C-alpha cells in the first residue's frame, strides 16, 4: 500500500454556529438568499472510515457530550442510520463522480445534537468527503467538488472549509474571515426541534421589507473589511428568531435564563433550536453552568480554525 493511501482514517467533524444570520428573498430555485457568519466550534462527531473493495456500511453510535442536562437518547431519532444518512449519500456520490469501484466501512460517533442548527449532518457529509479523498487518493476538480458539497446541503461547503467565514448566496458562496480571537460559548439545546424548511416558509409568510435585507447584506459584506469580533458578527441578528410562533415563549425564557447565568447576549444558531451565548474570556464555565436554571442540554465549546480534521491510521 502506498504511503499516500491509508487504509483507515479518523475524521473530526465539527459543528458550527451562525454568529449572525440574515435571510433575503426566495430565489427561483426555491432557496433563499442568505448573509451569515459561520464559525466552527469544538463540539464534534467522529467518523472512522476504512477502505473496502466495494459497497458501503455505516454504524452509528451515540455519545452524550453535554456537560449538563444529559438526556440519553435525545436527538437519536433524528439521525438516520441507513442510506439516508449524509455520510453514505456523500460517499456514494463521491465514488460515482470519481469513477471509482471501491467502498468503505464507516463508524460514526454522534455527539452533535441533530436538527438543532449546529450543522451536524453537514459536518458528517464533509467528513465523509475528506475520508474518501484520503482513502482513495483521488481529488475531484475544484468545480466538481464545490457542486458536490452544495448538492449535499447548503451548509456542507462551510463544513468542509471550516474556521470563520461569511456565507452568501444560499450559504455556499464563502469568504474566509480572520478568526475573531479565542472565544468560548455556552450552547443550550432544548428538547424541541425546528424544521428548517418550515422555518423558511414562515419567513416567506411574514412581513419583512427588502430594505431591511439590503441593510443586513451591506452590514455583512462590510464585516470582511473590519477587525472581526464575535460580538460584531452577532449584531447581524438571526432572522429565524422572529418566526418562532408558539415556541417564542420557550426561546425568550431560555435567553433570559442564559443571561441570568452570566453569558453574553444569547443568539439562536441556524434555524434553531439551539441557542448560544459567549463566555467572557476569564469567566468560569462551571460557575455559569451551576447558575443556569433549566433542563436544556448544555455544551461548552470553543471556536476552532478548521471544520474537519483528518488523522491517518496505519
Which among 1, 307, 11 has a CA at the least distance from the CA of 132? 11
Clarify whether 247 is annotated catalytic.
Answer: no
The C-alpha cell at 229 is 469580533
- By the rule CB under 6 A, 154 interacts with ligand C5P: yes
The C-alpha cell at 205 is 409568510
- Contact between residue 140 and residue 102 where contact means Cβ atoms under 8 Å apart: no
Smallest distance, ligand C5P to C-beta of residue 155, A: 6
Positive or negative: CA dihedral 258, 263, 266, 267: negative
Q: Whole-angstrom Cα distance, residue 150 to residue 160?
A: 10
Which among 254, 249, 211, 24 has a CA at the least distance from the CA of 116? 254
- By the rule CB under 6 A, 34 interacts with ligand C5P: yes
Smallest distance, ligand C5P to C-beta of residue 99, A: 26
Among 153, 162, 277, 307, binds ligand C5P (CB under 6 A): 153
- The β-bridge relationship of strands 32-52 and 8-26 is antiparallel
Binding mask 239-278 for ligand C5P (x = CB under 6 A): ----------------------------------------
Among 75, 171, 180, 277, binds ligand C5P (CB under 6 A): 171
> For ligand C5P, which stretch binds (CB under 6 A), given 46-54, 126-134, 195-203, 220-228?
195-203
Which among 146, 143, 139, 150 has a CA at the least distance from the CA of 100? 139
Smallest distance, ligand C5P to C-beta of residue 153, A: 4
Smallest distance, ligand C5P to C-beta of residue 171, A: 5
- Contact between residue 40 and residue 217 where contact means Cβ atoms under 8 Å apart: no
Clarify whether 155 is annotated catalytic.
Answer: yes
Strand partners, 278: 185
- By the rule CB under 6 A, 197 interacts with ligand C5P: yes
Peptide bond into 273 cis (omega under 30): yes
Which among 163, 111, 181 has a CA at the least distance from the CA of 304? 163
Q: If binding means CB under 6 A, how many residues of this protein chain bind ligand C5P?
A: 11
Place of cell 473589511: 225
Nearer to ligand C5P, 58 or 199 (CB): 199
Nearer to ligand C5P, 14 or 170 (CB): 170
Among 8, 31, 92, 109, binds ligand C5P (CB under 6 A): 31
Contacts of 201 (CB under 8 A, 6+ apart): none
Among 200, 251, 276, 299, binds ligand C5P (CB under 6 A): 200
- Contact between residue 308 and residue 12 where contact means Cβ atoms under 8 Å apart: yes
Smallest distance, ligand C5P to C-beta of residue 18, A: 12
Q: Choose the catalytic residue: 124, 155, 216, 247.
A: 155
Smallest distance, ligand C5P to C-beta of residue 280, A: 32
The C-alpha cell at 286 is 462551571
Note the residues at the interface with ligand C5P (CB under 6 A). 31-32, 34, 153-155, 170-171, 196-197, 200
Which active-site residues does the annotation give? 16, 155
Amino acid at each position: 500500500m502506498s504511503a499516500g493511501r491509508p487504509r483507515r482514517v479518523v475524521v473530526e467533524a465539527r459543528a458550527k454556529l451562525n454568529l449572525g444570520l440574515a435571510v433575503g428573498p426566495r430565489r427561483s430555485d426555491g432557496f433563499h438568499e442568505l448573509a451569515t457568519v459561520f464559525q466552527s466550534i469544538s463540539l464534534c462527531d467522529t467518523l472512522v472510515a476504512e477502505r473496502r473493495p466495494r459497497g458501503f456500511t455505516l454504524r452509528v453510535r451515540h455519545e452524550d457530550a453535554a456537560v449538563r442536562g444529559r438526556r440519553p437518547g435525545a436527538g437519536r431519532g433524528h439521525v438516520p442510520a441507513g442510506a439516508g444518512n449524509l455520510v453514505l449519500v456523500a460517499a456514494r456520490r463521491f465514488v460515482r463522480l470519481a469513477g471509482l469501484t471501491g467502498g468503505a466501512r464507516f463508524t460514526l460517533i454522534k455527539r452533535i445534537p441533530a436538527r438543532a442548527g449546529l450543522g451536524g449532518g453537514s459536518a458528517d457529509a464533509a467528513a465523509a468527503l475528506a475520508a474518501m479523498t484520503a482513502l482513495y487518493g483521488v481529488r475531484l476538480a475544484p468545480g466538481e467538488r464545490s457542486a458536490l458539497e452544495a448538492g449535499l446541503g447548503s451548509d456542507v461547503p462551510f463544513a468542509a472549509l471550516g474556521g470563520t467565514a461569511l456565507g452568501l448566496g444560499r450559504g455556499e458562496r464563502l469568504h474566509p474571515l480572520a478568526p475573531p480571537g479565542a472565544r468560548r460559548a455556552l450552547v443550550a439545546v432544548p428538547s424541541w426541534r425546528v424544521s428548517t424548511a418550515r422555518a423558511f416558509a414562515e419567513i416567506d409568510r411574514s412581513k419583512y421589507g427588502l430594505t431591511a435585507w439590503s441593510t443586513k447584506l451591506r452590514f455583512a459584506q462590510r464585516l470582511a473589511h473590519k477587525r472581526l469580533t464575535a460580538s460584531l458578527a452577532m449584531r447581524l441578528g438571526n432572522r429565524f428568531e422572529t418566526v418562532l410562533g408558539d415556541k417564542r415563549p420557550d426561546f425568550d425564557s431560555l435567553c433570559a435564563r442564559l443571561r441570568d447565568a452570566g453569558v453574553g447576549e444569547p443568539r439562536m444558531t441556524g434555524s434553531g433550536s439551539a441557542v448560544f451565548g459567549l463566555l467572557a474570556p476569564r469567566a468560569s464555565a462551571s460557575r455559569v453552568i451551576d447558575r443556569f436554571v433549566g433542563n436544556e442540554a448544555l455544551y461548552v465549546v470553543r471556536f476552532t480554525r478548521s471544520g474537519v480534521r483528518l488523522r491517518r491510521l496505519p
